Amino acid sequence: MANTPQAKKRIRRNNRRAEVNGARVSRIRTFVKKVESALLEGNKDAAAAALAAAQPEMQRGVSKGVLHKNTASRKFARLTKAVAALG
């Protein structure tokens, strides 16, 4: 258990950040799922539009530190390849 005032403050801060970061990651996952569902339906136009919306969200996650840059890059590359393979 935290004893010092600073340690108590860090716990409060970490809990707030975890909430915000969790919401951010969840939002990114939602955007990625939209691309994947459009891919499953075989709808190239919807998949391309969803991919264009997902890319800035993933990049924002990287800049905020909730996603590793290589992870985001890999996911985006695989999704892009899958969308290109549709048409």
Q: According to DSSP H, which parts of the chain are helical?
A: 5-41, 44-64, 69-86
Q: Which two tokens stand for residue 26?
A: 């969840």
pLDDT tens-digit readout, 2-49: 899 999 999 999 999 999 999 999 999 999 999 999 999 999 999 999
| pLDDT value, residue 2 | 84
Stretch 40-62: mean pLDDT: 97
Query: Is pLDDT at 87 greater than 90 in this prediction?
Result: no
Stretch 73-79: mean pLDDT: 97
The CATH class, in words, for 5-86 is: mainly alpha
Q: In the chain, where are the structural domains located?
A: 5-86
